[in-house]
Amino acid sequence: MTAATHSSLFPPVPDSADAVLEGLDPEQRAVATALHGPVCVLAGAGTGKTRAITHRIAYGVRAGILQPSSVLAVTFTNRAAGEMRGRLRQLGAQGVQARTFHSAALRQLQFFWPKAIGGSLPRLVDRKIQLVADAAAACRIRLDRGELRDVTAEIEWSKVTRTVPADYPLAALKADREAPRDPAEIAQIYSVYEDLKRDRAVIDFEDVLLLTVGILQDRHDIAEQVRAQYQHFVVDEYQDVSPLQQRLLELWLGERDSLCVVGDASQTIYSFTGATPDHLLDFRTRHPGATVVKLVRDYRSTPQVVHLANGLLAQARGRAADHRLELISQRPAGPEPVYTEYTDEPAEAEGAARRIRELVAAGVPAAEIAVLFRTNAQSETYEQALADAGVPYQLRGAERFFDRPEVRKAGVALRAAARFGGNDALLDDTVDLPSQVRAVLSGEGWTTSPPAGSGAVRERWESLAALVNLAQDVAAARPAATLADFVAELDERAGAQHAPTVQGVTLASLHSAKGLEWDVVFLVGVAEGMMPITYAKTDEQIEEERRLLYVGVTRARERLHVSWSLSRTPGGRPGRRPSHFLDGLRPGSTGTVGRAGGAGGGGVERGFTGGPSAAPRRTQRTPARCRVCGRTLTDAGEMKLMRCDGCPSDMDEGLYERLREWRADQARLSGQPAFCVFTDRTLMAIAESAPDDDRELARIPGVGTRKLNRYGADVLAICAGQEPEGEEVGG
């Protein structure tokens, strides 16, 4: 997994301002040299927008036109801000502030609060959901967990759109929002929530922006002090700016126009949070003299992937679609996207895991593969399928790399070795930086060969292996680098949250995949009801779902797999159909392609191979029902047990314990986590059904052909009360 421009990890620092411009294409160079007046960069996916704007800042700094401390670059995630700081450092432009809107506002709020308000800034609450629950209780309104989450989201939307509690019902109606409760009730909860915050002397995430806006509006002396500090602004992902963020930007700017914005209306996918592309689309109206540069050369994806992406947008409607960019791939031709239809969701997950295992076996790094889905709830099925296939994975949005215990511990060991290495016997035979890092980390659990399977042991090894690989990259870029230099590099990266690559297939929602890219992408669950999602009712909501799919497609560099299933559960009614967004684009489908033409062509005739018959299908299965009460099962864990979690178990406890002991022996012999042999649920299912033969054992979800062939004889022997014959590990 990498961020959105594939480049060398440690390029040499350019030796002059002109050298900063080397390697830029004509449009990127136009961005980099447009240092005066308002500038609007319309940048398609994979066109090197971050490269263009960081080179613009660096060129201005290196040419002496911009003072580093006078530049404020803002974006939307800590990762993106960290990446921007890292690139500026590599270009020799240290000292430029690159932050998220919230972190920039929080710094200013903390600094000016004593002067503007007096006292210390109220405590910032990490999670507001408990406060919302307290507010609902005070209003005598009962909310279940889902409603509590949804009401919290409505309060957040209200605040970023600058909607006060009394105005919420009308504002929600105008915005076509589907309120989770009566709008009057939400307005009441919102009002009490604000009262509770004041009573408890706390502020929330949105208050950081609101309070900063309030101070800058009311205190002209403070506003002028901020404007004296920051005189040049760059805003990345401008299509995602909310009305509140736009107001803050206007207050930072004052009457000046030294502003560069970068965005793509076709990647607007956060309108539910209050983001709107209107500020980007109206930029030339507000700034008639603006320089406008369009980046359409796609350096990320093959022509086959780009053709599909262009074809998706060719069918779009609405204002954002009117400003779509026709991408032109700059890469050699690659394989055609693959479309696959499955009978049910578990079959789809198993099919994806099987193909991923084949790719990894063929030499594709696991870190260069991603599985992207519409909702986080889809993740569990793919986690299980990958674990069953023995493929390591990582969840996007899980614990940050530098916060992992093994990484913190490794950092302590490396820092100690850098300081006292002359007295460390581990380093006696080391000759260069990589060998020193390997020697130190060997004491923390790193080995030359990874442990088999996945799980916590493998994850710890992958973290340490990422540090070893980073040491090799540092040494390749700077042969004279010392262990102390490497520790300094780690400190820089930790501050920027610029993590090295961890080996493992990435599982992520489409929303969280924005700004990232992989060699191979599996877009799963691309069926009506999921893409577009069922609750997308209005034309605007459906078009945003199309843009979300477009973002998913454009994450792929070389290979793209698109799949869907005909039913949710095994044996369910096959009533689903592929997403209508693929009509006219996938094999065997018909539909209006839409507005063709443009610089890159529509790509409708290309982008697929084979036909529906080429998709592997599983035999139809009857619905999974609880063997105790008869209820149809939909939960993956319940389907594995063939009973509801709440129904009584008839498990043979002794058999279950014998199976657990056998599994522990197998895991120890193979050097992999126990769940890679069989999960607890699968063992419970085996102990409850006590199968007599291969056929009965194969019916248990989680066994599968591979595990049946490898472990079937042992399991059946244990179920029959006999000693397993065992097998040689690796067979």
The answer to whether 50 is annotated as binding is: yes
47 annotated as belonging to a binding site for a ligand = yes
pLDDT along the chain (731 residues), means of 10: 45 81 90 90 92 93 91 88 87 89 93 89 87 92 85 91 91 85 91 92 91 93 93 93 92 91 89 84 88 92 94 86 87 94 92 94 93 88 87 70 82 85 65 86 82 63 84 84 87 70 84 91 94 85 92 96 90 87 84 44 27 38 57 58 67 84 83 75 84 84 79 89 64 37
Residue 598 assigned ligand-binding role: no
pLDDT reported for residue 302: 95
Supply the DSSP symbol for 167. Answer: G
Query: Helix 653-670 crosses helix 680-689 at what angle (to 10 degrees)?
Result: 140
* 46 annotated binding-site participant: yes
Judge residue 199's burial from the number of C-beta atoms within 10 Å of its C-beta, 0-12 exposed, 13-18 middle, 19 or more buried: exposed
Is 591 labelled as part of a ligand binding site? no
* Terminal Cα-to-Cα distance of the chain (whole angstroms): 32
Q: Are strands 328-329 and 516-523 parallel, antiparallel or unpaired?
A: unpaired
- The whole-number pLDDT of residue 680 equals 77
Distance, in Å, from the CA atom of 368 to the CA atom of 399, rounded to the nearest integer, reads: 19
Q: Is 529 left (phi over 0), alpha (psi -120 to 50) or beta?
A: left
634 carries a ligand binding annotation: no
Give the helix/strand (H/E) hosting 556.
Answer: strand 556-567
Residue with tokens 């609101």: 210
Q: Token match 């993106």: residue?
A: 80
Helix (H, G, I), strand (E, B) or coil at 615: coil
Question: Element (H or E) spanning 519, and its range?
Answer: strand 516-523
pLDDT of residue 108: 94
| 8 A C-beta contact, residue 404 and residue 540 | no
pLDDT score, position 424:
61
Confidence (pLDDT) at 478: 83
Ligand-binding annotation for 254, yes or no, is no
State the pairing for strand pair 516-523/2-3. Answer: antiparallel
How is residue 272 written in tokens? 């539910």
The predicted pLDDT at position 613 comes to 37
Q: Token pair of 687, please?
A: 């102990």
Cα-trace Rg, the chain: 28
Q: Are 514 and 269 in contact (CB under 8 A)?
A: yes
Nearest to 230 by CA among 261, 258, 263, 262: 258
SS3 331: coil
CB atoms within 10 A of CB 621: 16
| Residue 345 tokens, joined | 């969701």
Q: Give which of 510, 516, 513 is closest to 531, Cα–Cα.
A: 510
529 is in an annotated binding site: no
Which pLDDT score, from 0 to 100, does residue 632 have? 59
